[in-house]
Amino acid sequence: MPKPMYVWSGSAWISIAAEVESLATYATQSYAAAQPGMKMVVPTSVAVGSGSGSVDTNGAVTFSGASSVSLNDCFSSTYQNYKIVMNLSAATSNDVQMRLRVSSTDAATNYNRRGLCVDSAGTVSNYGSANSGTFWYAGIQTASLNSAGEILLSSPFETIETRFNATSSGGTQIVVAGGRHTTAASYTGITFFTDTGTITGTVRVYGYKN
C-alpha cells in the first residue's frame, strides 16, 4: 500500500497531504477573493414582452423573438460597476434600446444620451441624442445580420445618477453612445427593447470587482 510522504518544515516533519489541503483552501478562498476582475451575475428572473426568454445557472440570458427582455435583480451593493455583453443572431428591428428598472417596473424618463454612428463609407452622423429622453440606445441591429454590443453601467444600484457608455456594431454601421440617467435613484435591473419587431440572442451581465 502507498506510504505517506513528509516534508521538513524547519522544525518538524509535516505530511504532504496536509500541506496540499492547506494550499487548496488558500487558493479557493483567500487568494481568489483578493483577485481583481469580473464575475458573471445571475439575474433572479427574466421577463419577455413576446417570444421566449430564460436564464441559466451561470447567468446567461437567452431570448428568441422577443420585443423586450427584462433582467430582474442583477444589480446590488456587491458591485459598483457592471459590464453587459449582448450578442444578437437575428432581428426584425433596427434599434435596441434600454431602460433601468426596479421592482419589475422600468424608469421611463430622464435619459440623457449622446451618440455617433459611422457607416461603411466612413460618414459620421448623430445617433439619437436627447437631453431628457425615454430610453438609452444599447445598440443597432440590421435584420438577418449578427451584431454585438458592450455596455458599461456605472453605479446603477447607488442612489446617484447612473452613467453609461455603449459600443455596438451590426450590419454596416458602428455606434458609440454615452450619457446618464438624471434621476438619482437605485436600480436593480435593466430592460432591453426594440423600436419595432423582435430580437433573438443572448445577454450576460458581469460585475466589476472593486
Spatial distance between the Cα atoms of 101 and 113, rounded to a whole number of angstroms: 17
- 62: which strand partners? 54, 202
For residues 90 and 152, state if they share a domain: yes
Q: Write the CATH number for 133.
A: 2.60.120
Q: Phi and psi (nearest 5°) for 25?
A: -65, -40
For residues 49 and 72, state if they share a domain: yes
For residues 161 and 59, state if they share a domain: yes
3-class DSSP assignment, residue 115: strand
Give me the tens of pLDDT residue by residue for the chain, a chain 210 residues long: 566 777 777 777 777 766 655 555 555 555 656 666 889 999 999 999 999 999 999 999 999 999 999 999 999 999 999 999 999 888 887 788 999 999 999 999 999 999 998 888 889 998 888 898 999 988 776 665 678 889 999 999 999 999 999 998 877 788 899 999 999 999 999 999 988 889 999 999 999 988
> pTM to 2 decimals?
0.81
User: Alpha-carbon torsion 86, 92, 94, 100, what sign?
Assistant: negative
Containing domain of residue 56, as a range? 38-208
User: Where does residue 16 rank: exposed (0-12), middle (13-18), buried (19+ CB within 10 A)?
Assistant: exposed
For residues 142 and 194, state if they share a domain: yes
